[in-house]
Every structure is written in C-alpha cells, then in structure tokens.
Structure 1
Amino acid sequence: MIPPAGAAPEARLLLIGRGLRAFVDGYVAVLLPAYLLALGFGTGEVGLLSTATLLGSALATLAVGAWGHRFHHRSLLLGAALLMTATGLAFASLSAFWPLLVVAFVGTLNPSAGDVSVFLPLEHARLAEAAQGHVRTALFARYSLTGALAAAFGALAAAVPDGLATLGVDRLAALRAMFVLYGAAGFVVWLLYARLPRPSSSQVHRSPPAPLGPSRGLVIKLAALFSVDAFAGGLIVHSLLALWLFERFELSLSAAGAFFFWAGLCTALSQLAAPWVARRIGLLNTMVFTHIPASLALIGAAFAPRLEIALGLLLLRAALSQMDVPTRSAYVMAVVTPPERAAAASYTAVPRSLASALSPSLGGALFAAGWLAAPLVVCGMLKILYDLALLKAFRRVKPAH
C-alpha cells in the first residue's frame, strides 16, 4: 500500500507492517478454534483461550497508555514484534492447556475480526506523527483499508491446512505450520520496524511521549462514547448477522459467503472515500452523518419483507458504517497533544475491546428467544444515540493538532 503524498517515508513501513499483521490475524482468527479442537480441547476451553487473548491484549494496550510514555514508540513496536514471533512459535510447539492459556494471555493472538493488539495505539501514534491535516486522515484511511483487505485474504488462507491434508500432510502438523508462519511474520515486522527512524535529541526534548494530561477529559468522554458504539456493534457481529440471514431467510452458506465478500469490499472501499468526505464536511461530521444512515439501514433490514431488500440495505450499511474508522482515529490524534497520542489511542481502544466482547452473548440470547429483529434494532438505535451524543459533546471541539 502506497502512503498518500505528503506523508513521511516511515508511513510505508507502518502500512506494510499492518498488512502483514492483518494477513496472519485473518487466518489465525479462523484456525485458532480448529487448532485447539484438533489438540483435543472442548468448546469451553476454546472459549476460555479466546477470552484470554482478548483480555490480555486489552490489558497490554492499557499498560501502553499508562506507562508507555516512558519508552519511545519505536522501542515498544520492536518489543511487540518480538512478542508476536514468540507467540507464534509457542503456539506451534505447545499442546497442554495451561501453557497455551498463559501464551494466549501474554501473547499477541487476535481471535476477532478487528485489530485489538498492543500494536494499534503505537502504530496510531507513529502515523499521527507521519502526516498532518487532511493527509493524516488519508493515511489513516489507507491504514484501515490495508488491514481490511489483508485480513480478507488471510481468511482465505485458512483453507491451506485442509488443502495440505488432501495431499497427505498431517492436518495437525499443517495447523502448527500456520502458527510458525505467524511467528515468522512477527520477525518480518520486527525487521521492518527496525528501519523506523530513531528519535533525535531534538524530537525527544520537543514532544516526548507522555501520559494523559491536558486531554484527559476529552479522552475519557471519547472512550465512554466509543464503548457504547462498540457494545452496539457487538450485538450483530458477522457470525450473528450470518445466523440472522440463515434463520430469517434460509440463506445458503455459499450465498452468505458471497454476501460477506461484497460487504467487506464495500467497507474497504468506503474507507478510501472517508478522507474525501472529511475534507468537505469535517472529521466529526463524517463520523456522525455517515453512521446514522447506516444504522437506519440496519433497522430497515430487520423488517425487510424480502431477502433482496434486506441484502440491499445491509450492503448500504456496509458502505457507510465503517467510514468513521479512519476519521475516528484521525480525530482522536488531532484533539490531543502530540505527546499524549499513544496514551489516548490506548485509552480509547481498550474500552471498545472490552465492550464489544460483552454484547455478542446478549445478541445470541435474543436470537435464541426468537426475537430475530431485536439485535438489529437495538444495535441501530444505540448507534444513533451514540452519534447524537458524540455530535452534541464535541461539535465545538476543534482539532488543533
């Protein structure tokens, strides 16, 4: 992925690193439960290990926000890349539950569709320093697009172990090899980030990383609002949306796969349009006024009488609902002071991760109770309330950095 004109040269390294991480995350999210089942674990243990990865990543990200200011971003990124390498190799070589649980907690595995790793706030802080103004928004859009596309291709790579098994390769050995590849990707990321420029003495004295200070109030408000948005989104994650399509319209598995491919493509391309929209109506307005129509489309889909109408509304939602991702990141980086950026990215990312982990069980329970429309409607309404609250709270806050 080529960074936008006007971005610093290090932006290319960050985009390549994001793409590599997203690719291996894309297949690990699919292969992790299959690998654990192949090792002889039950579904309960698979769930516990998945929870451990999310909780560990959230705590590590929170630690970056609290104490990461004591170290430069480059050093922390290099450490995270080495941890990624160790995580892949450990998962490929261990078979007992408790050692794997420890590795899941302290490592970098990501069982979700989005990026919840410790890399996220550190890369955001570097990206914010690599560009200014509208170029920064465009850079964050390309960062998000790179991650979305690479993760999609990574998900396709999850079929490799079964393909190798048809050629006579032991399936468990093939699964282990994919985790070795994950570790190798971590080492490649380390090589990339070793090329990031070291901080000069003038940079260190001018704006060294710092804990939250002047921007603390803004960040707390943003984190609280982002948590509402993430909780709402968790009610209708992809697996639950697929379940709704199966139950509501008896959609086939192949048709559902085709729909999610096109929905993912709409989402990825919309993030390229986000900087263009933001230049014309502003970062905050882009976040709000693309989100509300997407939420209305989701609510409309809940009551659509025919499959074609529902899919059309859901594709419209996919084309609009994620335009706030790069603009949200750029907005957070713009309203806090430069030394606080890594801390702000951490403190806004962790509550989102924790909130989104709570709501899928509620959405599944509503489906199980026969209330098929409820998760879609509640998700849409909560997101609209979030957008209105965000606009009211920050309409007079002008990005200054």
Structure 2
Amino acid sequence: MMPARAPLSTPFLPAGIDRSAWLLLAARSLRGVCDGFVAVLLPAYLLALGFAQLTVGLISTATLVGSAIATILVGMLGNRYPLRALLLAAASLMTATGLAFASLSSLWPLLVVAFVGTLNPSSGDVSVFLPLEHARLAESAQSEARTALFARYSLVGALSAALGALLAGLPDWVALHSSVSPLSTMRAMFVCYALTGVVVCLLYLRLPKREAQAATVRAPLGPSRAIVTRLALLFSVDAFAGGLLVNSLLTLWLIQRFGLPLAAAGQFFFWAGLLSAGSQLAAAPIARRIGLLNTMVFTHIPSSVCLIAAAFTASLPLTLLLLLLRSALSQLDVPTRSAYVMAVVTPSERPAAASFTAVPRSLAAAVAPTLAGALLGIGWLGAPLVACGALKIAYDLALLFAFRHVKPDGGSS
C-alpha cells in the first residue's frame, strides 16, 4: 500500500507533498474548464430556451445562494464525515446537475437544480468543492510545502478556467460549420459537464481512505473559532473591495475614460490574467522568506497603490502599465491566504474554517458591483478604483494589526 506521505518532488510540486495532491490538482483543472465555459454559456443557454433576462438573473442568483448554503453545511457537518466521502458526493451531484440542465427546459425544475446543484456562474471557484479540496490539500502537504501546493492549486484553476471560457464559443462555431443548432451544442456541453463529474469522481476514488478524525469538540469550530471569525470578517472587506472593480466594470471604465476598443480591452485582460495566474507561483518562495502574513499584506498594498494611481493618470499606456503591475501583485495573497487559514486552525477544523472564510467573501463580493455602478453615476469615473484601492489597503493594515502575533504551524507569520 502507498504510504500516506510518499516523497514527491517534481518541477511543479516540491518535496513534502503527498502523491494524492496530483489527484486533487487534476480534479481542480477539470472542474475549472467546466466552470470556465459554464460562466459564459449559462446566460446564452437560458436565453436560447426562451427565458427572459430577469429569469436568467434569478437562476444565476439561485446557483450562488445554493453554493453558499452548501458550503455553510460543509463547514457545520464536514468534521463528522471523511473528506473523501464528501468529495465523492459532490462529484456525483456535479454529474446529476449536468444531466438535469441538458434535459430540462422548464423554469421551476431548472431553478431547483440550480439551487441544489454545482453550477458556478462566476469566474472564481465558489462551489462546495472548494472547502473540501482545501481541507484535503492541507492534509496532503507538510507545513513548509503547503503554500506552494495552494499556489499550484490556484494556478491550475485559473488557467483551466481561461481555457474553458474559450470553449464557450463552440456552439457558434459548430453552427457556422454544420447544421447543428447552437442550442443542441449547448445541451451537449452540459452532458460533457456531467461526464466530467464522472471523471472527477473516479479521481476522488483513488484518494487514500482515511479514518474520520474523532471530533475533539462538539462544534465544527472549537479552539480556533475566534481566529476564523476575525479572518472571515476581514476577508469580507477584501472581497467587497474587489467586487467594486470586477472586470466588466474595469472594461467600462477604460472605454469611457480612454475610448479603448473592445478588442484592445480583451488583449489587456488576457495579459492581466496571465500575470495574475503566473504570479501565484512566486507566492511560495516569497512566503518562505518573509512569512505567510507578510506576503499577504506587503504584496497587496503596492497593488492597491497602483490601482489608485491609475485613477489619476491621463495617459492610457501608463494606466495600462499600472493595471498590469497591479495584476502581477494582487493575486499573490490568494494561495498564501488559503495556506494561512489552514495553518492557524486545528486539522479537525479545516473544513469548517475553509467554509466560514469562503462564504462571507462570496456574499460580500456579490453586493459590491451595484455600489460601483452608483459610483460611476456620480460623475467621477475613477471613484470605484479609488474606493477599491483604499478599502484593500485598510484591510491589509487591519489584517497585519490583528494577526501579527498569531503564528501558523510553520512557526512564523
């Protein structure tokens, strides 16, 4: 039988990481491709079924609310069941979700499936898989290798989602070169979503069986409750600030401020996405030198300064340069944040901690774009950039002040 912590060292994964991490990374990449095309395909699919725009928004909201509730339940009950069993249940639900969306055409059945299923209409991973895979990843790496593993996890998710977004153009391409309607192709893509759930389930089946840890406390969060609560509140501020400047609003700002063509905006976001994804690989070596908390704070503040500066520049090239520099720095805190949460709680609390820090972020980010639209309406186009940057700097300073004495299990913060 394979040892629980078989040594593994490759150019992609350093030593100190369990071989089962490869299975989780493979599952994340497959899910990322599906999330990438679903986020683009879902509105077009629902419109093709004859639903109005209001209904499209209702179903999209149902998916987000359902995912948030499912993630909360994982946080409350996850310490009672083996993570492997919960992951298998989630993969089975993914298969059922894809088959249901491929075959149903009525509003209420689709609304129910959207609420209880695994569809993800956003660009990031907000599904029930996230806290489960985070908790299992934390078990798969020794403390000094955990940040590197979370960086790889974030990287494969971002790159696979970008690839999936490109696949969303497949229905139009097929219709252009054959007699197959776009609706039929979209249904077929939801079948592919379901089949991907089967493959993900097979990957999870290869994870080593581990006995469920005996709960040392009755509550899902015990000794780490205060820490997780403070982290969740602070992470919500960060997510709310990020929601003020989602890509669609930043595109609108670039068009209105500089008259940037859509094609040029698309090229900018392509390079910004590559910088954001690639920069996450630098998170682990930086964290080893200055600590997880310092990496989260002192790489984040310069990115916010770049964002605020971009609101005041009159030159398009300089503005794009500042925004690209911001993209290269702003995501360094993603893997370190995940690793830090896993490192400051006990092993039995990891599913709950991942859940209770992820759900408030999702809810806070969902509220912010409406406010950003109002800020654009007051007449100062740079208002969302300044508000986003200022809130993020306040978050970073508050995080540093609140947790500068809290040591992760690696020994330094």
Q: TM-score, normalised by structure 2?
A: 0.94
* Residue of 363, 367, 370 corresponding to 2:372: 363
In structure 1, what is the equivalent of residue 4 of structure 2?
A: none
2:53 maps to 43
Paired residues of 2:80 and 2:215 also in contact (CA < 8 A): no
Q: Is the 8 A contact 1:13 1:193 kept in 2?
A: yes
Alignment check: 8 A CA contact 2:340 2:408 kept: yes
4+ long deviations beyond 6 Å:
206-210
2:126 aligned residue: 116
| Deviation larger for 241-250 or 136-145 | 241-250
Which residue of 266, 273, 287 maps to 1:257? 266
Residue 270, structure 1, aligned to residue 279, structure 2 = yes
Deviations, residues 303-337 of structure 1 (Å, cap 9, x unaligned): 11011011000000100001000000000000000
Residue 314 of structure 1 corresponds to which residue in structure 2?
323
Report the structure, 1 or 2, having the larger helix content: 1
Separation in structure 2 between the aligned mates of residue 4 and residue 100 of structure 1, nearest angstrom = 43
Distance 1:127 1:344, change over 3 A: same
Deviation at 1:206, TM superposition (A): 9.3
Does residue 4 of the first structure (1) align with residue 14 of the second (2)? yes
Aligned to 1:161: 171
Q: Which residue, out of 73, 78, 95, partners 1:63?
A: 73
1:182 maps to 2:226: no
Give the count of matched residue pairs.
399
Structure 2 unaligned blocks of 5 or more: 1-10
Matching residue of 2:298:
289
Task: Provide the alpha-carbon RMSD of the alignment.
Answer: 1.5
**Amino-acid identity (%):** 69
Structure 1 pair 206–91 and aligned structure 2 pair: CA distance change class (3 A): closer
1:399 equivalenced with 2:408 (yes/no) = yes
Displacement of 1:275:
0.3
> What's the TM-score, normalizing by structure 1?
0.97
Q: Is the 8 A contact 1:71 1:209 kept in 2?
A: no
Question: Take 1:206 and 1:66, find their aligned partners in 2: how far apart are those partners?
Answer: 12
Q: Does 1:340 align with 2:349?
A: yes
Matched residues in 2 for 1:21 and 1:2: separation? 20
Superposed displacement of residue 210, structure 1: 6.9
> 1:132-160 CA deviation, whole Å, 9 max, x = no partner?
12211100000000001001111111111
Q: Does 1:352 align with 2:361?
A: yes
Residue 3 (structure 2) aligns with: none
Question: Is 1:207–1:338's contact at 8 Å kept on the other side of the alignment?
Answer: no
> What's the counterpart of residue 85 of structure 1?
95
Q: Which residue of 2 aligns with 1:150?
A: 160
State the SS of the aligned residue for 1:196: coil
Quick check: 2:97–2:113 contact (8 Å CA) kept in 1? yes
Structure 1 residue 370: Cα displacement? 2.8
Helix, strand or coil for the counterpart of 1:254?
helix
CA contact (8 A) 2:143 2:409 kept: no
